[in-house]
Amino acid sequence: MTNMTNRTAFVTGASRGIGRACAQALGEAGARVVLAARDTAKLEEAAMQIPGATCVSIDLASPESIKEAFAKAGKIDILVNNAGITKDGLAMRMKKEDWEAVLRTNLTGAHFCIQQALPTMMKARAGRIINISSVVAQSGNAGQANYVAAKAGLIGLTKAIAIEIASRGVTVNAVAPGFIETPMTDVLPDKVKEELKTRIPLGRMGSPRDVAVAIVFLASDEAGYITGQVLSVNGGMHLA
């Protein structure tokens, strides 16, 4: 795998779960990692485990917060849009504020992060953008119309921007994790988790590390001829 020394990676939602594992893996590959999330206490704890890492507070629902975070981070070579929230509910009863909150953070926030990272990437004629989507963006999921719409939107955003900036040497790809053992899935009842495993051909939920290594690959020089693609990390749960 490429040595990422002298490259800076900015990872949103890096205080826990997939984001934290991704930041750790990028750090192991030699990148200087900037961890970004709202929970500064957990960010600082995570950053302590990664040599040379720094952390910045960011609220993906606020364009002003995004601008401030990127200004503090400086030049970015790798952007991982991982941060996301859920506010589940049946579509017919979903509150307007729950719909808007999930779209604002999971999709619009990622777009604004890309806008902040692009100028220096395009000037350098190099860069990697990786958006974290989800298996439910490909398969759908009852009770998550807002989350599914946002994650499917990320796939469309990935493809559109990949085409826009390909001539500048910047690649844009997405990773679509399946059901991964994170704080977001920890709240599921054991019965639900066991039922989920029956739908996964590999017979287990994934680990954050499973997703992190896929992200590191897409951020590497070896993935330089891959853009506008969705890499599924789902144990065979959904075969597109």
Q: Is 213 exposed, middle or buried (0-12, 13-18, 19+ CB in 10 A)?
A: middle
CA-CA distance, 31 to 15, in Å (whole number)?
17
Structure tokens at 39: 């929970």
What CA–CA distances, in Å, run from 117 to 49, 70, 109? 25, 8, 13
Is 171 part of a structural domain of the chain? yes
Is 184 part of a structural domain of the chain? no
Tens of pLDDT, residue by residue, the chain (240 residues): 578 989 999 999 999 999 999 999 999 999 999 999 999 899 999 999 999 999 999 999 999 999 999 999 999 999 999 999 999 999 999 999 999 999 999 999 999 999 999 999 999 999 999 999 999 999 999 999 999 999 999 999 999 999 999 999 999 999 999 999 877 777 778 888 888 888 899 999 999 999 999 999 999 999 999 999 999 999 999 886
What is the reported pLDDT for 1? 54
What is the reported pLDDT for 183? 72
Is 195 part of a structural domain of the chain? no
What CA–CA distances, in Å, run from 141 to 13, 18, 54, 66, 145? 23, 20, 36, 30, 7
What is the reported pLDDT for 3? 82
What is the reported pLDDT for 239? 81
Catalytic annotation, residues: 147
- Give start and end residues of each alpha helix (H) in the chain: 17-28, 40-47, 63-73, 96-103, 109-124, 136-139, 145-165, 183-186, 190-197, 208-219
Q: What is the CATH number of the domain that holds 228?
A: 3.40.50.720
* Rg of the chain taking only CA atoms, in angstroms: 17
Is 141 part of a structural domain of the chain? yes
With the C-alpha atoms ordered 19, 25, 28, 30, is the resulting torsion angle positive or negative? negative
Question: CB of 130 within 8 A of CB of 174?
Answer: yes
Is 148 part of a structural domain of the chain? yes
Q: Is 114 exposed, middle or buried (0-12, 13-18, 19+ CB in 10 A)?
A: buried
147: containing domain: 8-178+209-233
Total structural domains within the chain? 1
Torsion angle in degrees (nearest 10) through CA of 198, 202, 205, 210? -160
Is 220 part of a structural domain of the chain? yes
What is the reported pLDDT for 185? 76
With the C-alpha atoms ordered 200, 203, 209, 210, is the resulting torsion angle positive or negative? negative
Is 16 part of a structural domain of the chain? yes
Is 47 part of a structural domain of the chain? yes
